[in-house]
Amino acid sequence: MPDTPKFYQKMQQEYQDVMQAVGRLGKATREAGPLEDKQAQLIQLAAAAALKSEGSVHSHTRRALEAGASPEEVRHALILLISTIGYPNVAAALSWAEDVL
């Protein structure tokens, strides 16, 4: 995957078994219920924003787009968080998402 961050690639090389287990866990959680991948990625994007995780916001923005979300849906998913996590946190997350958008 050409957009995969170099550090993530390094983790995959150095901790292959762990990263495969993380991948399997992610797949299992997505398949555990009725939500479509786009919805799941937008939810995970919101969680990444709440955790103030720039790398995760980048990742879930990419994944949401790959799952069919539009840039407007990505932005709206983050804007919805203003009353929950506050404007400064949302502004930061939006700036990170824009790195990908």
Judge whether residue 38 has pLDDT over 80. yes
Q: Once rounded to an integer, what is the mean pLDDT over residues 42-60?
A: 96
- Domain around 83: 35-101
First-to-final CA distance of the chain:
17
pLDDT of residue 1: 45
On the question of pLDDT at 49 being above 80, the answer is yes
Q: Do 48 and 96 fall within a single domain?
A: yes
Q: What is the CATH number of the domain that holds 64?
A: 1.20.1290.10
Sign of CA dihedral 24, 29, 35, 38: negative
The pLDDT of residue 8 is 85
State whether 59 and 88 are in the same domain.
yes
The per-residue pLDDT for 5 is: 79
Contact 49, 93 (CB under 8 A): yes
Mean pLDDT computed over every residue of the chain: 94
Say whether both 40 and 71 belong to one domain.
Answer: yes
pLDDT confidence of residue 2: 52
Residues 67 and 93 in one domain: yes
Cβ pair 49, 89 in contact under 8 A: yes
Mean pLDDT of 10-36: 94
3-state secondary structure the chain: CCCCCHHHHHHHHHCHHHHHHHHHHHHHHHHCCCCCHHHHHHHHHHHHHHCCCHHHHHHHHHHHHHCCCCHHHHHHHHHCCHHHHCHHHHHHHHHHHHHHC
- Mean pLDDT across 4-28: 91
